[in-house]
């Protein structure tokens, strides 16, 4: 499942650089997440974003796992996902 990352916030907050992202999966489920990293003069925007993403990664991975089954159709009589039945 592919995720799309969009920057929703990016601003200096005291001695921190605030980075906010909106992350969307293939089923249009959305995670909004923010992190702050130390502001360092001369650091590029991409470096801040990558540093913030590193702090977000575990939360993003957990969210992705949590929503992976959302909207999947399940046949309770057969005890299987309909998609798996169609591919069998």
Give the pLDDT of the chain (88 residues) as one tens digit per residue: 699 999 999 999 999 999 999 999 988 999 999 999 999 999 999 999 999 999 999 999 999 999 988 888 898 998 888 875 566 5
**Sequence-separated (6 or more) residues with CB below 8 Å from residue 23:** 3, 4, 5, 6, 30, 31, 32, 33, 60, 63
- Length of the chain equals 88
In the chain, where the domains are located: 4-87
CB 24 within 8 A of CB 3: yes
pTM here?
0.80
Cross-strand bridge partners of residue 81: 74
């Amino acid at each position: 499942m592919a995720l799309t990352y969009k920057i929703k916030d990016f601003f200096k907050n005291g001695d921190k650089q605030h980075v906010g992202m909106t992350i969307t999966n293939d089923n249009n489920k959305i995670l909004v997440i923010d992190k702050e990293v130390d502001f360092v003069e001369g650091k590029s925007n991409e470096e801040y974003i990558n540093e913030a993403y590193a702090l977000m990664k575990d939360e993003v991975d957990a969210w992705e796992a949590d929503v992976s089954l959302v909207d999947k159709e399940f046949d309770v009589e057969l005890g299987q996902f309909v998609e798996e039945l169609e591919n069998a």
